[in-house]
Amino acid sequence: AQVLGYTVVNHAAVIATHITDMLKTHAHELVGRQDVQNMLDRVSKTQPKLVEELVPGLLSLGAVQKVLQNLLREQVGVRDLQSILEALSDRAAATKDAEALTEHARAALSRQISKAHQGHDHVIQAVALAHEIEDAIAKSAHETPQGSYLSLEPNTAQRILLRIKEALEDVMSKGHQPVLLVSGATRRFVRKLTERPFPAIPVIAHSEIAGNVKVQTIKVVKL
């Protein structure tokens, strides 16, 4: 098989890869409060003031857990916990909303996020949304004490999803693995819109792209 050019993988590697993918997909479901407390305890050994100030001073343990779950849900690693906690400390006085705090934490992890989506040429291949689509989403975004939601008119939402689907299929047919690049103000709402139909497509904000990383916009989605 190798002589014929096939890649040969043993059974153990196949199983390990499958289990790893499953863990990445469901990691957010596995992080409990005790797990988060254990993580905070480890950070407090080197950064005690950071942890003391944040929990329970500014945020509850459950709020920090929610932010970490939000990051893991989109497969953003949380090993750099110090950067995440510092970002939360900077923002927690202004808002206790877990989704808003998650966006702030993502911006603090820009280098990590950028690296995860760079191709072999160190360039991020992106599909962007036209201003008209971003404006429509921004106008339909609502934030309440119970959380945020999107109230796009169903026909408009379907048209947007159809155009995104066509753009992604066109780009992927040419061998690219794109991200959906949007503004920071609409990122989480675009993710809410695309999470079910396109769960494997990362939605990245401009603020999450590190300054030294090149982005190639392959296609712009328009209505």
Digit-coded pLDDT (tens) for 14-72: 999 889 888 888 888 889 999 999 999 999 999 999 999 999 889 999 999 999 999 99
CA dist., res. 118 & res. 205, Å (int) = 15
Cis peptide before 199 (omega within 30 of 0): no
Structure-model confidence comparison of residues 147 and 133, the more confident one: 133
Instruction: Give residue 190's pLDDT.
Output: 95
Instruction: Give residue 1's pLDDT.
Output: 87
Instruction: Give residue 143's pLDDT.
Output: 79
Over range 121-126, report the average pLDDT: 90
Of the ranges 20-29, 137-146, 204-213, the best mean pLDDT one:
204-213
Residue spans of alpha helices (H) in the chain: 11-30, 33-44, 48-54, 61-73, 81-91, 98-108, 110-116, 131-139, 154-173, 187-194
The single-letter DSSP state of residue 59 is S
114, pLDDT greater than 80 = yes
Instruction: Give residue 149's pLDDT.
Output: 82
> Which run of H or E residues covers position 129?
strand 123-129
Query: 92 CB contacts (<8 Å, ≥6 apart)?
Result: 54, 58, 59, 101
Chain center to CA of 208: 9
Instruction: Give residue 126's pLDDT.
Output: 94
95, pLDDT greater than 80 = yes
123, pLDDT greater than 80 = yes
For residue 17, give both structure tokens.
Answer: 């890869």
Are the C-beta atoms of 62 and 27 separated by less than 8 Å? Answer: no
Over range 203-216, report the average pLDDT: 92
Instruction: Give residue 158's pLDDT.
Output: 95
For residue 202, give both structure tokens.
Answer: 């990362």
Nearest-Å Rg of the Cα atoms of the chain is 19
**What is the overall mean pLDDT for the chain?**
92
Instruction: Give residue 195's pLDDT.
Output: 92
Query: 22 CB contacts (<8 Å, ≥6 apart)?
Result: none
